[in-house]
Amino acid sequence: MPETSSTNQPWESHESYRQTFRKLLYISTFTRPDIVVAVGYLCRKTSLPNKKDWEAVKRVVRYLKGTQAMKLKLLVTQDPKLMEYADADWAEDTTDQKSISGKTFYYGNSMICWASKKQEAVALSFREAEYVSASEASRQLACLLMLFKELGISIPGPVTTHEDNQISIRLVELEGVSS
């Protein structure tokens, strides 16, 4: 059996990893969308973290300390448009070959919602990964539109969806959905 390096040995203090991770999860969910991908990756390591994972957690904490001045701002806007951005990697996680979807939503110039999530099935191509990501974002968009309606906020015109994969865009256009 090959010998594992010391960085891959289980971390002796699982609880300190989990406590710090929980704080990072809270921060990424409510105030810092810039760390959501890193925290999503670290989430997969909570059951048996190793020294390398602990070093990654410490890097994220150092990053947060160095960027304390960064803030989310909800700006008053004269252009109350809702915009959706969706993207995906393709099989970036080599352990299970699943893709990760990312989505952000802006109201005017302010980011109001964001998420990064591993896709449930293995995408067979980058086009499929992008299409799944766009579909997931559209479901979230439907929820946001209902919320805006309940709050009495009118969203003018169609919502603009930004997707960078031309094949996925073409598939949506062929299905007769306006982009």
- Rounded CA-CA distance 150/69 in Å is 33
The mean pLDDT of the chain is: 82
Residue 172 CA to residue 161 CA, distance in Å, equals: 11
Phi-psi region of 152 (alpha: psi -120 to 50; beta: other; left: phi over 0): left
Domain-embedded: residue 74: no
Interval 90-112: pLDDT, tens: 877 777 888 888 899 988 888 88
- The beta-strand segments (E) located in 43-159 are 82-88, 100-107, 110-118
Residue 91 sits in the same domain as residue 154: yes
Q: What is the pLDDT of residue 61?
A: 94
Q: Is residue 132 part of a domain?
A: yes
The total of other beta-carbon atoms located within 10 Å of residue 16's CB is 13
End position of a domain, from candidates 66, 91, 107 = 66
94 shares its domain with 163: yes
pLDDT of res. 177 = 56
Residues 153, 147: Cα–Cα separation, whole Å = 9
Domain annotation covers residue 61: yes
Q: Are residues 90 and 164 in the same domain?
A: yes
44 plus 91 within the same structural domain: no
Answer yes or no: is pLDDT of 1 > 70. no
Q: Say which residue, 6 or 100, is predicted with more confidence.
A: 100
Residues of the domain holding 43: 6-66
What is the tens place of the pLDDT at every residue in 28-72? 888 888 888 888 888 877 778 888 888 999 999 999 999 998 877
Residues 61 and 86 in one domain: no
Predicted local confidence at residue 9, as pLDDT: 64
Tokens of 6: 């010391």
pLDDT at 164: 79
Overall number of domains in the chain: 2
The tokens describing 107, both together, are: 């109201």
Question: What are the structure tokens assigned to 179, written together?
Answer: 């982009």
For the entire predicted model, the pTM comes to 0.66
Q: Which residue has the tokens 């094949």?
A: 167
Partnered with residue 84 across adjacent β-strands are 105, 161
6 compared with 76, residue with greater pLDDT: 76
- Please indicate, yes or no, if residue 128 is contained in any of the structural domains: yes
Residue 113 has pLDDT above 80, yes or no: yes
E strand residue ranges, the chain: 82-88, 100-107, 110-118, 160-163
**Residue 2 pLDDT:** 45
Do 60 and 26 meet the contact criterion of CB atoms below 8 Å apart? no
Does 28 fall in a domain?
yes
pLDDT over threshold 90, residue 130:
no
**Taken in order 131, 133, 135, 141, is the CA torsion positive or negative?**
negative
Give me the percent of the chain exceeding a pLDDT of 90. Answer: 13
pLDDT at residue 135 in the model? 85
The reported pLDDT for the residue numbered 138 is 87
